[in-house]
Amino acid sequence: MSEPQQQWTETIEAKHSLFDLKLGEVWRYKDLVYMFVKRDFVSSFKQTVLGPIWFFINPIFTTIVYIFVFGNLAKLPTDGAPKILFYLVGVTLWNYFSSCLTGTSYTFAGNAGIFGKVYFPRLVTPISVVISNLMKFGVQFALFLVFFFYYWYKGEVQPNWWVLATPFLIILMAAFALGAGMIFSALTTKYRDLNMLLGFGVSLYMYATPVIYPVSALSGIWKKLAMYNPLTGIFECFKYGWLGKGEFSIQMLLISTVIIFAILTLGTLIFNKVEKTFMDTV
């Protein structure tokens, strides 16, 4: 007599979709995100004398150098905006983007030891990088506001309602850095040379982005190419909203949004695919 077929009450199986970011699972690990953010913040200034004051020193000295080199020597235009505000806003935005991009690009290679010992959603790591750098951005943005209100009081800048788009612009920058960072993080598990290429490429990319010059200073093919730089619409909208200067159009922001969404989607696909096998190659 054959035994009756056993009926399982619960089946545990791997559920993995390339498009699944597991955001619900990430939310359940929000305490871990907080711990990673705290770790990044503390480790950045451990055994330093000035500590978080470096948040201010970096943009101030960088802005001074830009004013002297690009504003006074190279005579690059600023669309009539005060030089210190023009370069300070560019430095603040660029610092946030570049820090997020380089930080997320080391997700797999830099955390292989942790990933190999305990399970948690791998997306926790790049998200914590974006949040920890957002704290630094907030401090540097506060510095920008100090100078902004001074020049606003003097009547040298005229902000407009596009300042309300600031949160959206920050989210776009974070999404771009997250998407591109996930792509590089996945690729560097096999090709470590990309780590050095990324550092060099980020430095060059700054000169292809309107950080030290306005889009209005470009012409011909260079201006058309600049329109397809995902950061162009973000930087120009930010400057136009806060300083009331610049050659901004809604088309710029739409192009940036579409390209960034595509890069984030591609990054998600590659990240989720490599996540399953990266321990074999890292």
Q: How far apart are CA 125 and CA 32, in angstroms?
A: 9
**CA distances in angstroms from 58 to 55, 87, 136, listed in the order given:** 6, 13, 11
Q: What is the pLDDT of residue 270?
A: 85
In this prediction, residue 12 carries a pLDDT of 44
pLDDT of residue 199: 80
Residue 75 pLDDT > 60: yes
Residue type, 228: Y
Q: Name the DSSP class of 277.
A: T
**How much is the mean pLDDT over the chain?**
83
Instruction: Say if 261 falls within a structural domain.
Output: yes
The pLDDT score that the predictor gives to residue 50 is 61
pLDDT in tens, 104-155: 887 766 666 676 677 777 778 888 888 888 888 998 999 999 999 999 999 8
Residue 46: domain span: 23-280
Residue of 212 and 29 predicted with greater confidence: 212
Residue 5 belongs to some domain of the structure? no
pLDDT in tens, 160-180: 999 999 999 999 999 999 999
Residue 276: is its pLDDT beyond 90?
no
Q: Is residue 257 part of a domain?
A: yes
- pLDDT tier for residue 190 given thresholds of 50, 70 and 90: confident
Res. 257 pLDDT band, cuts 50 70 90? very high
Q: Determine, yes or no, domain membership for 9.
A: no
Residue with tokens 């007599």: 1
Beta-carbon contacts of residue 94 (< 8 Å; ≥ 6 apart): 206, 209, 211
Q: Do the domain assignments include residue 14?
A: no
Total structural domains in the chain? 1
Q: pLDDT tens for residues 5-35? A: 666 665 444 455 555 556 677 778 778 888 8
Share of the chain above pLDDT 70, in %: 81
Site of tokens 């451990």: 46
User: What residues contact 156, with CB distance under 8 A and at least 6 apart?
Assistant: 81, 82
- Residue 141 in any domain: the answer is yes
Lowest mean per-residue pLDDT among 9-18, 25-34, 238-247, 253-262? 9-18
Q: Distances from the Cα of 226 to the Cαs of 132, 160, 231, in angstroms? A: 29, 24, 9
Kindly state whether residue 18 falls inside one of the protein's structural domains.
Answer: no
Residue 137 CB partners (closer than 8 Å, separation 6+) = 92, 95, 96, 170
Domain-located, residue 152: yes
